[in-house]
Amino acid sequence: MSQIWIAVIGASVTAFLNKYFGHSVPEKWLDKPRFKRINTLVPIVLLSALVGVQTFANKKELVIDQRLAGVGVALIALKFKAPFPVVVVSAAITSAAIYNWF
């Protein structure tokens, strides 16, 4: 068995055990205000990290390209409280236009 398969199986077992033990935690332990605040912030942090990595990374390099302009336009659209489809389409059009022009 190769090292990759050992890593895949190990990661799968770890993920299963995390999920199993996560469901086994008593509700009274998770009903604290501090845990609730942390749980509400985790998706925001993960999504922000994903956007950051997808915007500024190309394999192992730090890059500034058309994706930054798309994210900038999306931020401006969000600032003006545009609907989500408008935010996505305006960011995509901006990124595509800059990619094709330069």
**Three-class DSSP category at 65:** coil
Query: What are the CA-CA distances from residue 96 to residues 5, 44, 71 (Å)?
Result: 39, 26, 12
Predicted model pTM: 0.65
Q: Are residues 53 and 13 in the same domain?
A: no
Q: Are residues 67 and 50 in the same domain?
A: yes
How many domains in the chain?
2
With the C-alpha atoms ordered 26, 27, 28, 32, is the resulting torsion angle positive or negative?
positive
pLDDT (tens, 9 = 90+) of the chain, 102 residues, equals 889 999 999 999 999 999 999 888 888 888 899 988 998 999 999 999 999 999 999 988 999 999 999 999 999 999 999 999 999 999 999 999 999 998
Q: Are residues 17 and 54 in the same domain?
A: no
21: containing domain: 1-26
